[in-house]
A = this chain, B = another copy of it.
Amino acid sequence: MEIKSENRCFGGVQGVYSHASEACGCDMTFGLFLPEMAKDMEVPVLWYLSGLTCTHENAMTKAGAQAWAAEAGVALVFPDTSPRGEGVADDEAYDLGKGAGFYVNATEAPWAPHFRMWDYVAEELPALIGQEFSLDMERQAITGHSMGGHGALTLAMGLPGRFRSVSAFAPITNPTQSDWGRKQLGAYLGADESKWAAHDASLLMREKGFDGPVLIDQGGSDQFLHLLKPEALAEAMAAKRQAGSFRTQPGYDHSYFFVSTFMEEHVAFHAEALYA
């Protein structure tokens, strides 16, 4: 693991690190914020998964999460959203290929060799950071924005017992029924739609739910509402009697101005579960 940068931040350290990823078959970069409290003890971890076109850096610089994580004594991990590098397949569209990994393990050409973001976030990166930093990997929570909200929800429900709480900002909730999803799941997983279901938060919610609290914030003036389909997840949560809140925040759009506005409440929500 290589240290790309480390900056003092709210009494702790905001670092950027790279490593050779076996899952993705390329070098991967991630951000990690370690609060001051980690000097004295292993701290719990909150994963933040980013949206389309993002790298590890967007949320690290724009979400304003470190202030609240420092206060709560929670580490933040900011993975990249896809494999990177010259040998990695890509597409001209912003929503397929690099920057658009969708947190799945691709089985189809040309994506299968590198696009294994599920394994990367679920297995390889947790093992690495648990080894390298002062983290209590028994206490993890997960959140994300847009495609990253999709990732957070599908990982949380797909890995029962792993995360104590899950939240999302304007998540893609029903990708099997959306142009943000059908194209990508088809490309990465193939035409057999039965293989897509494990990557659809609304289907997972209806079928399995999540064994812990769920918090969803959705901007009421989000320009991508027709792609995000928040009503699918809201209905599924209520039908499943899922512990949690689905909130529509009027006037907010899809940007990090929205995410940063509600970040304090999301970090506090996770901290309550992580320190319960």
- Enumerate chain A interface residues (CB-CB to B < 8 A): 218, 220-221, 225, 230-239, 241-250
Shortest beta-carbon distance from A62 to chain B in Å: 24
CB-CB under 8 A from A221, the residues of chain B are: 241
Bound CA span A225–B248, Å: 23
Bound CA span A241–B230, Å: 9
Bound CA span A235–B244, Å: 15
CB-CB under 8 A from A236, the residues of chain B are: 231
CB-CB under 8 A from A242, the residues of chain B are: 220, 248
Shortest beta-carbon distance from A241 to chain B in Å: 4
Q: In the complex the two chains form, is A245's CB within 8 Å of B243's CB?
A: no
Bound CA span A32–B262, Å: 37
Bound CA span A239–B228, Å: 11
Q: Which 5 A/B pairs are nearest by Cβ-Cβ distance?
A: A235-B235, A234-B238, A231-B239, A243-B250, A231-B238
CB-CB under 8 A from A244, the residues of chain B are: 247-248
Closest to A246 in B: B246
Bound CA span A221–B248, Å: 24
Q: In the complex the two chains form, is B238's CB within 8 Å of A249's CB?
A: no
CB-CB under 8 A from A249, the residues of chain B are: 243
